[in-house]
Every structure is written in C-alpha cells, then in structure tokens.
Structure 1
C-alpha cells in the first residue's frame, strides 16, 4: 500500500519524513492542536533516530486518529504525548509495522468526561521497548485500549502498559493479545494505579497470549496498586499454545500446519480488527500480521 492510499478525500493528514513535515493540510510541525471534528492521519516515513509528537485535542472535539509507521528501518525512539481536553472523544489507531529496533514512549492525558479508545497493532522485526501511560485526571474520563502484539523477530521485546486513575468516577479497560514465534521473547507488563481519592473507579486489565513454537516465550506481569477500596478492579492473564485438537481438525481438512495457525490467529485478532472502520486499513493490517 502506498502512503497516498491511506489518505481519504476528507481526511486531515500530516506526513513526517526524516522527522520533519513533508506534506500536510493542517499541521506545520510535530506540535499541533486538533480543533475540528474529523478523521486524521499521522504518517511517519524514513524516521530519524528520534521522532517527537505532541497533540492536544480541544474541548468537545470528536476525532478519529490513525497513526502509521512506514518505511522505518532506522533504530528509532518515538516520544508521543496526547492530551484530551474536557468532553473530547478520540478513537486512536496505531499501526507499528517496523523493520528495525525501536523504543517508544506514549503518554495520554484525559480530562473531564474525555474518552480515549485505542487500537494498537504492533509487529516489530527487532528488539523493542515500549512504555504507554494513560492518566485519567478528572471525573468521568474513560480509556479503552486493545493491543495486538506480535513478535517473530527472534529477539526480546518488552511492552509496558500503565493506567493511572487520579480522579473519582473514572473507567479503564485494557486487553492485550500477544503472539510469539521463531525463538522470540515477549514481555507484557500491565500496571494499574488507583489513588486514594479515586473512589468508584473501574479498572479491568487482561492479557491473552499464544506461543507458536517450543523455543518462544511470553511473560505477563499484571500489577494493581490500589489506595481506595470503593472501586472495581480486575486483572488476569492466560498464555498457552494453540490446541492440538483445533490444529488436527483443520489439518484433516487439507490445510497445512502454517495455514491452520494463520486461520486460528485471524479469529483471535478479529475481536480487535473488526473495530477498524476503514476497509483498506483493515486489509492492510491483516496482510501484515
């Protein structure tokens, strides 16, 4: 898929090349304000060793934001900060299909009655360290994050997700779908914090992992730190291989082991991918996974 294929007629878009704005119809640099409802595309190409992004979404704005990493083969650090002002609603899709080692830091700040829904699809062909933090700083803010993380690089990758409930009546949901293959190691750590005055908060965190060979490893470490007990908080993790019965059934119908695994994984991913609105992007994700 060419870069231009990601952009639809009415999209706001910005294309970064070597860390600077190459083309855009709304932004002059990597620090900008979203002040109109609509669909936004943020595209990185030929990244430098460090790429920064600072986005503020104005009050009462409803924005669909898609973040795309293209042609990035240089070891890179990505630093992103996204702040939602009161009553802002953001649906944020990140696609990290990267052929190099990367580190990334993402911080999302939510204010009163703001809502942040994220789908993060991550397949990195190299070592990776990622830190994602969501801070719910005011009443009735809500975050819903779904991650697909695939490691078949034969390298070690670590992804840390942290959600902080800093105000009462806040809500968070975090689900990780992890897949590991080809002698790779994947560490997925979840942290949930509820401060003393954050009563009536609701926090749910789940990690599901599938290991495709005997020499790969997935480790999940869910941690909850709660200083107020008038809350709802749940966490869990389940990791294992694809069931032999499922594989046997599909292979008995003429599929190879590899095709059988791919079919099962497509169903595993479907819970997340089916929420992607644009068919072209949905197909792009499935083809790259």
Structure 2
C-alpha cells in the first residue's frame, strides 16, 4: 500500500519496483495489494515490476473497497466483486490471484452472498484461497460456513490489540491464518512519528485522532519507553514490534509496509530476533490498556470496521 497510497507522496514507479524486487531477492514470499491502493496503480506496479517473477511469491489482493465513478466506495455485491476481480486480473497481468480478500464488510449485503461470489471465482480458477479483512468473529464463522476461509487480515501490533478479543481465537479454532497489517502501528513503532505534521494531505493519519494533537503527544511518551526498550536489547523499534507480532502464534504473519529498501532490510532482521519472554512482557506493560489515547480511525472509517472493540475503547 505504501508504494502508491495513504502515506503522502508515493515513490516513483522505478523506486517502487526496485523495492519489490529487493524484497523477493531477500526471500519475501507474500505480496499484499488491493484494488483500492492508488486506485489500481499498486496492482499495475506489481505487474510492471515483479509479475515476471510470479512463481516466487504468493499474490494477495482485495475487493469490495474500490473506486466507483471516480470515488472511493464500498460494494460487497456479487456483481461488484466480479467486476473488481476481473479488472484486478487485467491490471496485474495474470489469470489467477492466490489469495483474494473481502477488504471490508458491506453491511448492506449478507456476508454469505459476498463469500459466495468468491467461491464461484475460486471454482472458475480466477482465485485460490479466500480471505477476509477487518471482520469480527461472528462474521468469520458465517463466511467460513459458506466456503473455507484461509486468512483473516486485521490491524495488529503492540498498540492495536483488538484481534485478541475474539478474532485470534476464532482463527485458531477454524485453522485460519491471521495476517497482521500495520504491525509497526502506522509508523509509531519504527521511530517515524514525532509530531502531527504530515507531508501531504493524502496521509491518512491526518484523520486518525491518535496521531494528532494532545493525543499524539501523550502517545509518544509510551513510544519513547518502547524505543528505549528496543535499544536496550540491541534492536530497532520496528524489529521489536515485528518480533512481538511474530511471537503471537505460528498462524500469525505480519505484513509491514515500507517505501525504503533500508527499512525493508531492517524489518527482515526481526526474523532472527528473539527478545525473550521478559522483554515481550515489558512491551505489553508499556502498551497496557489506557496507554494510548485517541480512536484508531475516524468515524467514517470506523463505520466500515467489523472487528470487535474493547468496552473502554475510544471511538470517533
């Protein structure tokens, strides 16, 4: 996502292509994109830069969130899903996507109908496995009853713990992989956020209350303690955050995004990091309930989230 969408001015296609190829060279085997990212430009970037190395990686993309008549929209109808998928295949330059997610829950369409559309795409050979993104335990079970769900993707990091309410247990019970997006908390846990002045209007953190004003100033106190802990064990903050996510279970896979080859290489260093139980417990103490102030989404974005919330969680 970072290469075309959401965090300010994106890198050039050439820079993005170099990063993707470097990721494959280093052994990365999962590339995650979506129709929404850059209004299809991210899928086109994958085609232009790495689709010739197709056998080296699992390709994941998403539907339901897409651009409709030039505007971002949410449509989980079977017709919209089929149209988004066909357009994605064309943009990606392939006839098969390995893992295809419903990006968000469209509350106007029964989940059974949306999953049914993906099941038919699977039968037609257009997609392999079926995934869900930011959906709660009850929805996951309903979807899984229609067709086996292979992966559930939600935001998860030491800062954002919502999947621990019910989703992680549901995934374990049903044999579903869990994919953690924003595992470094949208830059908070890689020493990349120091104030609330972002580089462009298109940085989505402008609309996220915990990244602005007094909320951010409060949150950076916990982040400073986390950074100090990482330094104490000879790791970067990003590596400690990723090691924490990797410790949550064999079925948990983090997908850190970056626009920097240096940061990519740093992130991959987390694989060899074993902080130990005491350090992991310290991470959880630093980010104990109440340590982070401000909702994680704006009201409009939260309305599209089905993942469970904590009883005392601030919501926009």
| TM-score strictly above 0.5 | no
The structure richer in helix per residue is 2
Highest relative contact order (Cα 8 Å, sep 6+), 1 or 2? 2
Taking structure 2 as the reference length, the TM-score comes to: 0.29
